[in-house]
């Protein structure tokens, strides 16, 4: 019987995690067995109080870094399908059923289309491209589902990447022709764009993508991120 393990890495997200867990509980179809694993990277905000309101959710502790945290969640997961989700991204109703349908069809990895909770013209244009099944249109905020078998086969997330870890693993899945885009929409927060300025942040993300294509190291991309993005 299929089971989905929903893995959510967090760091000081007490103001967000309860809202996400409530959304998951209200949106999941409950026709497929599931578990929720919150992987903490060293929070000091007392998020545990919020998570304990949700009995289907377990807390795992790991070293800081989303790649390390998501690998730690995958290690304890008991599902045959892993679903990696950022804490400010909210999947569509019956998301588990849509994911399970793809896995059953043999599509072993993929994501949803994405919309921002903002009507800024640049973000509206950017989100339109998430419907296209091409590596250049991918990002971690769209979430990632992957069969446990394929995840183990490719070695999970590359822990050398403190940023860009989502794009890195997705690029390996595209290289194996193992990616699909479900034509349903996930809503994600534009809070980082609001903090940094939409045009400014979009420029810096484009530069990080370009650095990757030009062969820059994970350390070089992280240095650029720290110098330019709040």
Write the CATH number for 181.
3.90.550.10
Q: Residues 58, 145: contact at Cβ < 8 Å?
A: no
Cα distance between residue 8 and residue 168, in whole Å? 18
Residue 125 belongs to a domain: no
Query: What pTM value is reported for the model?
Result: 0.96
Q: Tell me how far apart the 2 most distant CA atoms of the chain are, in Å.
A: 47
Residue 81 belongs to a domain: yes
Residue 132 belongs to a domain: no
**40-91 residue pLDDT tens:** 999 999 999 999 999 999 999 999 999 999 999 999 999 999 999 999 999 9
Q: What is the pLDDT, as a whole number, of residue 230?
A: 75
How many domains is the chain partitioned into structurally? Answer: 1
Q: Residues 25, 101: contact at Cβ < 8 Å?
A: no
Residue-range definition of the domain harbouring residue 161: 3-115+137-189
């Amino acid at each position: 019987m299929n089971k989905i393990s929903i893995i959510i890495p967090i760091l000081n997200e007490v103001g967000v995690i309860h809202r996400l867990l409530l959304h998951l509980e209200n949106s999941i179809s409950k026709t497929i067995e599931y578990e929720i694993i919150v992987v903490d990277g060293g929070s000091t905000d007392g998020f545990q109080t919020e998570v304990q309101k949700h009995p289907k959710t377990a807390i795992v502790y790991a070293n800081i870094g989303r790649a390390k945290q998501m690998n730690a969640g995958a290690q304890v997961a008991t599902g045959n399908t892993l679903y990696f989700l950022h804490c400010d991204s909210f999947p569509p109703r019956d998301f588990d059923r849509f994911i399970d349908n793809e896995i059953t069809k043999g599509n072993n990895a993929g994501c949803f289309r994405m919309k921002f909770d903002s009507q800024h013209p640049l973000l509206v244009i950017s989100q339109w491209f998430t419907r296209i099944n091409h590596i250049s249109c991918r990002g971690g905020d769209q979430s990632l589902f992957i069969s446990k078998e394929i995840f183990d086969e490719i070695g999970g997330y590359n822990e050398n990447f403190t940023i860009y870890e989502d794009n890195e693993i997705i690029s390996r899945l595209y290289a194996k022709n193992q990616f699909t885009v479900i034509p349903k929409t996930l809503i994600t927060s534009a809070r980082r764009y609001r903090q940094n300025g939409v045009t400014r942040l979009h420029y810096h993300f484009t530069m990080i993508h370009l650095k990757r294509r030009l062969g820059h190291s994970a350390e070089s991309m992280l240095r650029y991120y720290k110098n330019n993005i709040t």
